[in-house]
Amino acid sequence: MSFEELDHTADVLMRVRGATINEVFADAGRAMFHVMYGPCEDRGIARQITLEAEDLESLLIDYLSELLFITDAENLVFCTFDVDLQGTRLSAVVRGEPFDPARHAGGTLIKGISYFGLEIVKEEDAYVVDIIFDI
C-alpha cells in the first residue's frame, strides 16, 4: 500500500499503488486527506459510503468526491479507509475525527478530482493510478 506525490506544475499529482483494487481506493483516500490535513487519528468518528458507477475510474472519482463532500460539509478528517469493491459497486467505511484547527489547519484545500489522465492500470503485481487533485 503506498502513494507518492509526483511533479505537477499547477495541481497535486498522486501516484497510488496497491496489490488489490480495494487497496488502491483506500490509499487514494489516504493520499487525499494527507494533502488536505496532514496527521489524523481515529477518534471514533465513522461514515459509511455506498456507490455504484459504470466503470472503475468513474467510481474512484465519485468515491473521492464523496469524501470531499463529507469533509467539507461536516468538518471531519479521515485517516482509515476500509473499502470493499464488488465489480463497480463500492461500499466503504471511513474513520477519523472532527477537524481541529490546531492540528489540521494550514493544509491544501482540494477543489475537485480531475478525469484528466485518470486510468487504473494493472501491472505485474499491482494496480496503479495517477490522480490529479485540483487545488
Binder among 21, 28, 31, 61 for other proteins (CB under 8 A): 61
Other CB atoms within 10 A of residue 44 CB: 8
Q: What are phi and psi of 23, to 5 degrees?
A: -65, -40
Our finding on whether 121 is near other proteins (CB under 8 A) is no
Our finding on whether 50 is near other proteins (CB under 8 A) is no
Our finding on whether 72 is near other proteins (CB under 8 A) is yes
Our finding on whether 36 is near other proteins (CB under 8 A) is yes
Our finding on whether 48 is near other proteins (CB under 8 A) is no
Our finding on whether 56 is near other proteins (CB under 8 A) is no
Which residues neighbour 43 within 8 Å (Cβ) at sequence distance 6 or greater?
96, 97, 98
The C-alpha atoms of residue 70 and residue 116 are separated, in whole angstroms, by: 23
Decide whether 102 or 124 has the Cβ nearer to other proteins: 102
Cell 483506500 locates to: 26
Instruction: Please give the biggest Cα pair distance in the chain.
Output: 43
Q: Given the rule CB under 8 A, which residues bind other proteins?
A: 5-12, 36-37, 54, 58, 61-62, 65, 68-69, 72-73, 75, 99, 101, 104-109, 111-118, 132, 134-135
